[in-house]
Amino acid sequence: MKKEQVMAEPFRIKVVEPIRLISREERERRIKEAGYNVFGLKSDDIYIDLLTDSGTAAMSDNQWAGIMLGDESYAGCRGFRHLEEAVHDVLGFNYVVPVHQGRAAERLLFQVMVKKGDVIPFNMPFDTTDACIRSLGGKPVNCVADVAYEPQAIHPFKGNIDLVKLRALITEVGAQKIPFIMLTITNNAGGGQPVAMSNLKEVKEVASEYEIPVFIDAARCAENAYFIQQREEGYQDRALAEIIKEQFSYSDGCTFSCKKDPMANIGGLIGLNNEELYRKILPLLIAQEGFITYGGLAGRDLEAVARGLREMTDDDLIASRIRQVEYLGELLVDSGIQIIQPVGGHALFVDVASFLPHIPQSHFPADALAVELYLESGVRAVGLGALAFSTPDEGTGETISPKMELLRLAIPRRVYTDRHMDVVAEGLKRVYERRNQIRGLRIVHAPPVLRHFLARLEPV
């Protein structure tokens, strides 16, 4: 939908939270204390925080009003009814399992559906999803189209499943070993890249041939719908709300981290139409999260989630959000910095291999760049490279480094202005200009798993 006029954010600011830039000397002290790992920084020492878009949104006045109206009854609270209505209206599901966040939704659904030896095709599984399936003895298999691995290739739907890979996998392992197929929209692990409606439809058709259910990992389903509206034939004149709902019509259910597009600070859910499956999940829900009408959340959180689900269907809101991510992307490209193209819905990714070609992966260039950006301008982004994703080879035990070294800048929803984006871009540009002087990092100590969250590092 082309607009004639320049459009600003479709909201004005009613509450503000002060932030400040501490001095360069202080930043040097803080990052040293943090073991040269941005996860160890205190938020008060950060000027602009682009660590994640999860749970960091600014809630609306309507969501805050819902917080005040929260009904804290243990069973049968009003907030649950509002959540059921919102899930039905926005996503089209009849049954809702509330949970404290997305990974709890995954754990409950997978415990009921995944057996040892099962294989689950994905476009690309998100890390918590991957870990949960493996812990149950299942094997997630990546069936994303190859273009997802070409950072500079401009393609409208880099999150699509490759249907040839999907069919080959079903033929190879047999449909009885596949309890469901899962599509993550947008594809977070692949850089927030969208999945086309045609792909959702085709995956459902293939799945139906073999009577395999399809689930959607729905955290950014509104952003995905926006990309469909902008990029897919036949959707230009359709309202976002309609497109969001159509996506789920090609599925049997969803898991949903409501800390993303629904702009709640905490919360998640499972949406389903199959009553039998819903009934199987309930005892686990009570044992692991809480009673079936609150699922580990306060009643007030249910209100914030229910209202956020409705708000995320606003065309202008999602358009302004993605425009801001694109704006930052353009500033970086104009400075000669290479980023993954096209920018994703919630984040953009700097190609660190081209930024710091002189630092070998064994010296963690992505994390070194995160440290430099913090030192330069007080901005926190996160390195996603060898520190996070190196794995030992199953045979030789040698370290296998990931294909890419990336710096992720995730943009919280409704939190920062374009001026903040200018500061981020300018800081990164200054680091780029002195990139030849930047050194890598080495590990002082780190746990064997999930080491990028906890590692202590030092300059080489």
Ligand X SMILES: *Cc1c(COP(=O)(O)O)cnc(C)c1O
Tell me which residues are annotated as active site.
Answer: 74, 126-127, 217, 219, 260, 452
**How far is residue 316 from each of residues 218, 330, 344, 383, measured CA to CA in Å?**
20, 20, 18, 31
CB-based closest residue to ligand X: 102
- Comparing CA positions, the residue from 349, 379, 383, 381 lying closest to residue 364 is 383
259 part of the interface to ligand X, by CB under 6 A: yes
Kindly tell me which of 125 and 299 has the beta carbon lying closer to ligand X: 125
What residues pair up with 272 in beta bridges, in sequence order? 95, 253
Tell the smallest beta-carbon distance from residue 86 to ligand X (Å).
17
Tell the smallest beta-carbon distance from residue 258 to ligand X (Å).
7
Q: Is 407 exposed, middle or buried (0-12, 13-18, 19+ CB in 10 A)?
A: buried
The first and second tokens of residue 208, run together, are: 């139906």
| CB atoms inside a 10 Å sphere around CB 79 | 28
Only one residue has tokens 């089209």, namely: 92
101 part of the interface to ligand X, by CB under 6 A: yes
How far is it between the farthest Cα atoms of the chain? 63
Tell the smallest beta-carbon distance from residue 217 to ligand X (Å).
5
Contacts of 322 (CB under 8 A, 6+ apart): 223, 226, 227, 345
Size of the site for ligand X (CB under 6 A): 15
In contact, 170 and 209? CB cutoff 8 Å: no
Report which secondary-structure segment, H or E, holds 380: strand 379-380
Tell the smallest beta-carbon distance from residue 187 to ligand X (Å).
8
Residue from 60, 63, 129, 247 binding ligand X (CB under 6 A): 129
Kindly tell me which of 303 and 372 has the beta carbon lying closer to ligand X: 303
217 part of the interface to ligand X, by CB under 6 A: yes
Residue from 219, 240, 302, 359 binding ligand X (CB under 6 A): 219
Residue from 30, 103, 307, 408 binding ligand X (CB under 6 A): 103
Kindly tell me which of 102 and 299 has the beta carbon lying closer to ligand X: 102
Kindly tell me which of 219 and 366 has the beta carbon lying closer to ligand X: 219
The first and second tokens of residue 240, run together, are: 């976002």
**How far is residue 427 from each of residues 4, 347, 416, 420, 448, measured CA to CA in Å?**
32, 17, 16, 11, 33
247 part of the interface to ligand X, by CB under 6 A: no
> What residue type is 132 in one-letter code?
C
Edge-to-edge strand list for the sheet holding 382-384: 347-351, 406-410, 382-384
Write each residue from 155 to 194 as x if it is in contact with ligand X (CB under 6 A), else as -, in one continuous string.
-----------------------------x---x------
Write each residue from 15 to 54 as x if it is in contact with ligand X (CB under 6 A), else as -, in one continuous string.
---------------------------------------x
300 part of the interface to ligand X, by CB under 6 A: no
The first and second tokens of residue 89, run together, are: 């209206």
Cis peptide before 194 (omega within 30 of 0): no
Tell the smallest beta-carbon distance from residue 296 to ligand X (Å).
11
Decide: helix, strand or coil at residue 204.
Answer: helix
Q: Is 410 exposed, middle or buried (0-12, 13-18, 19+ CB in 10 A)?
A: buried
126 part of the interface to ligand X, by CB under 6 A: yes
Write each residue from 48 to 77 as x if it is in contact with ligand X (CB under 6 A), else as -, in one continuous string.
------x-----------------------
Only one of the segments 74-82, 254-262, 291-299, 404-412 lies at the binding site for ligand X (rule: CB under 6 A); that segment is 254-262
Q: Site residues (CB under 6 A) for ligand X?
A: 54, 101-103, 126, 128-129, 184, 188, 217, 219, 257, 259-260, 268
